[in-house]
């Protein structure tokens, strides 16, 4: 029997209209590329989003057209998220840290019609424009006074909005209409596009709001360091307006001192980003001998949060939420709100629990399987390849059948490429990316576990464990480390430090000091590049 309830299509535009009405004092505070701090409320934002939507239509942008952004976190980028999708077009966020070759590939693959660009990234586009469609329209996201000299024949964002109506009758269309497009950074092969819908985006926003709403009161200030140009800033641009949170956008300055200053001035309570960003902030906290004013919560994800980092934050009284997700999952898969009894555990055990990758979010089904695709139990012990299913997860890649076929299993689940265990109450523990696991003598060693143990040594600022080829054992682990100060412990000292967590054969064969580790376009340690840098390396027992 069919139920008798209305069926209203889920629309992204409804999120901002709701926030403007119900949370009129919620703000978007932005550290601008112009160098100052800018503030606007949700109602003001809605007016400007309406103007931008009219302006886009006036330039012929309509249903399904791709409009790209190349920008930092700021209010204009946020406005593009809503204006573009609001009129049924597709907001394609481009990661400015991609190589020129990848950028050319994705703009052509997505067939973008317009690119909105921050002043800082204009040179990137100038360098590649001859390889982009010749009828492309470029818009620089600033006012006339700050327009840079450029060879793009670019329009000015503020002039585009000028004089446009501040109200919009947002169109209705089927909820499966495409709304956003984000390419994975493509550590292997070309980047692959995740094409989000209005339905997936609104459901994802509700799903996160369910978690955030239980811990953040209306008006709380949240700082997304995680970029709007990748993985939808973990969904914050959509969930924050629903709850009435104020978003503090950091703009281009993401170093520890700049973040500290902004958080301190604005009284940011919760800050979100990848572990590498927090290394900088923690160094500044140490330097200043205090936390930024009002800081009490940090959400870490994108790659494994080192145990030592979680410990340091918690010792300072900052609650750590450790989350896991993927571009292909909108991106949240798990969240860091642990069951209440975890916070009450003895400190070390609490940190152990928080080092895991959080609890399954509602609407995300998880399964782990063995090499033959057989399901493994969620008993916290069995380790297998992780698959996911749900309304906020891609059903395939945009115009890429080959990658789609590889990613989906026969039952329609999406393969994450991660190796994990799951507890009976839905707590996920990522052991490794399958391509980063180290296989020694037929047994697996988790690179994440090795890194966690090594990083708890005070002399190590950051490190990566990678596999090096070995004729007898297949692969052996090598630890590549960046020193925190002058001290450089030897391999034996590191073995002694790590011994209690590992069998002897699992410990690294060598310790190599480097000045810094290569990062991916999303700020994670790039083990692929690191392995390439070590192409001529020979293990000590083979020299």
Short-list 139, 95, 85, 93, CA closest to 117: 139
Nearer to ligand ADP (CB atom), residue 244 or residue 325 = 325
Q: How far apart are CA 537 and CA 533, in angstroms?
A: 8
Please answer whether residues 283 and 273 qualify as being in contact, where contact means their C-beta atoms are separated by less than 8 angstroms: no
Annotated catalytic residue, options 27, 266, 284, 328: 328
Is 513 catalytic? The answer is: no
Helix axis angle, 307-315 to 447-455, nearest 10°: 40
Short-list 249, 261, 365, 356, CA closest to 300: 356
Please answer whether residues 331 and 319 qualify as being in contact, where contact means their C-beta atoms are separated by less than 8 angstroms: no
Report, in Å, the least distance between residue 48 CB and ligand ADP: 29
Q: Is 33 a residue that touches ligand ADP (CB under 6 A)?
A: no
Cα R_g (the chain), whole angstroms: 23
Annotated catalytic residue, options 444, 493, 513, 529: 444
Q: Is 234 a residue that touches ligand ADP (CB under 6 A)?
A: no
Q: Is 473 a residue that touches ligand ADP (CB under 6 A)?
A: no
Is 392 catalytic? The answer is: no
Q: Is 184 a residue that touches ligand ADP (CB under 6 A)?
A: yes
Task: Write the binding mask 425 to 454 for ligand ADP: x where contact by CB under 6 A, - elsewhere.
Answer: -----x--x---------------------
Q: Is 96 a residue that touches ligand ADP (CB under 6 A)?
A: no
Instruction: Select from 74-82, 109-117, 182-190, 370-378 the region that touches ligand ADP (CB under 6 A).
Output: 182-190
Nearer to ligand ADP (CB atom), residue 44 or residue 423 = 423
Which residues are within 8 A (CB) of 25 and not within 5 positions of it... i.e. 6 or more apart? 41, 219, 244
Annotated catalytic residue, options 93, 142, 184, 197: 184
How many C-beta neighbours within 10 Å does residue 381 have?
10
CB-count burial class (<10 Å; 0-12, 13-18, 19+) for 60: exposed
Tell me 506's DSSP state: G
Tell me 437's DSSP state: -
Q: How far apart are CA 33 and CA 447, in angstroms?
A: 38
Instruction: Select from 70-78, 116-124, 324-332, 498-506 the region that touches ligand ADP (CB under 6 A).
Output: 324-332
Assigned token pair, 260: 């500290």
Is 444 catalytic? The answer is: yes
CB-count burial class (<10 Å; 0-12, 13-18, 19+) for 521: buried
Task: Write the binding mask 102 to 141 for ligand ADP: x where contact by CB under 6 A, - elsewhere.
Answer: ----------------------------------------
Among 87, 178, 304, 463, binds ligand ADP (CB under 6 A): 304
Alpha helices, H only, 74-149: 75-86, 100-110, 122-128
Is 45 catalytic? The answer is: no
Instruction: Select from 101-109, 123-131, 323-331, 388-396 the region that touches ligand ADP (CB under 6 A).
Output: 323-331
Among 17, 47, 201, 416, binds ligand ADP (CB under 6 A): 416
Report, in Å, the least distance between residue 371 CB and ligand ADP: 19
Short-list 424, 406, 427, CA closest to 415: 406
Task: Write the binding mask 512 to 531 for ligand ADP: x where contact by CB under 6 A, - elsewhere.
Answer: --------x-x-x-------
Give me the residues that bind ligand ADP (CB under 6 A), please: 184-185, 187, 231, 301-304, 322, 324-327, 331, 357, 416-418, 430, 433, 520, 522, 524
Cite the active site residues: 184, 328, 439, 444
């Amino acid at each position: 029997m069919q139920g008798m309830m209305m069926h209203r299509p889920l629309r992204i535009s409804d999120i901002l209209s709701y926030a403007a009405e119900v949370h009129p004092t919620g703000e978007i505070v932005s550290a601008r590329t112009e160098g100052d701090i800018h503030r606007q409320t949700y109602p003001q934002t809605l007016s400007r989003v309406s103007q931008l939507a009219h302006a886009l239509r006036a330039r012929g942008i309509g249903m399904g057209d791709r409009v790209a952004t190349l920008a930092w976190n700021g209010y204009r980028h946020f406005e593009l998220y809503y204006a573009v999708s609001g009129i049924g077009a597709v907001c394609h966020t481009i990661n400015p840290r991609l190589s020129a070759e990848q950028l050319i590939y994705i703009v052509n693959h997505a067939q973008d019609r317009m690119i909105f660009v921050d002043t800082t990234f204009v040179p990137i586009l100038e360098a590649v424009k001859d390889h982009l469609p010749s009828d492309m329209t470029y818009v620089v996201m600033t006012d006339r006074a700050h327009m840079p000299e450029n060879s793009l024949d670019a329009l000015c964002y503020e002039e585009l909005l000028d004089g446009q109506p501040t109200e919009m009758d947002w169109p209705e269309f089927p909820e499966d209409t495409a709304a956003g497009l984000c390419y994975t950074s493509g550590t292997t092969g070309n980047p692959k596009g995740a094409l989000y819908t209005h339905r997936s985006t609104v459901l994802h926003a509700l799903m996160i709001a369910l978690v955030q709403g239980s811990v953040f009161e209306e008006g709380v200030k949240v700082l997304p360091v995680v970029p709007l140009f990748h993985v939808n800033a973990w969904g914050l641009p959509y969930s924050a307006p629903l709850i009435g949170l104020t978003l503090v956008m950091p703009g281009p300055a993401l170093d520890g001192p700049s973040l500290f200053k902004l958080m301190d001035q604005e009284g940011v309570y919760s800050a979100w980003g990848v572990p590498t960003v927090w290394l900088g902030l923690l160094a500044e906290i140490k330097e200043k001998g205090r936390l930024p004013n009002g800081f009490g919560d940090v959400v870490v994800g994108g790659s494994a949060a080192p145990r030592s980092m979680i410990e340091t934050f918690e010792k300072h009284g900052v609650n750590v939420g450790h989350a896991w997700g993927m571009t292909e999952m909108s991106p949240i898969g798990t969240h860091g709100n642990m069951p209440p009894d975890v916070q009450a555990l003895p400190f070390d055990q609490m940190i152990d629990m928080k080092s895991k990758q959080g609890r399954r979010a509602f609407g995300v089904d998880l399964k782990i399987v063995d090499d033959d695709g057989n399901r493994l139990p969620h008993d916290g012990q069995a380790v297998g390849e992780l698959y996911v299913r749900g309304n906020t997860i891609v059903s395939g890649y945009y115009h890429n059948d080959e990658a789609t076929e590889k990613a989906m299993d026969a039952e329609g689940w999406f393969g994450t490429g991660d190796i994990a265990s799951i507890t009976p109450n839905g707590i996920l523990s990522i052991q490794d990316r399958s391509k980063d696991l180290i296989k020694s003598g037929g047994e697996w060693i988790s690179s994440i576990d090795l890194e966690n143990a090594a990083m708890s040594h005070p002399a190590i600022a950051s490190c990566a464990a990678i596999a090096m080829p070995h004729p007898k054992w297949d692969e052996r682990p090598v630890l590549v480390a960046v020193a925190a100060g002058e001290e450089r412990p030897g391999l034996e000292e590191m073995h002694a430090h790590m011994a209690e967590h590992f069998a002897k054969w699992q410990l690294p064969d060598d310790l190599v000091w480097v000045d810094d580790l290569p990062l991916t376009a999303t700020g994670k340690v790039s083990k692929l590049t690191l392995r390439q840098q070590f192409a001529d390396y020979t293990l000590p027992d083979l020299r």
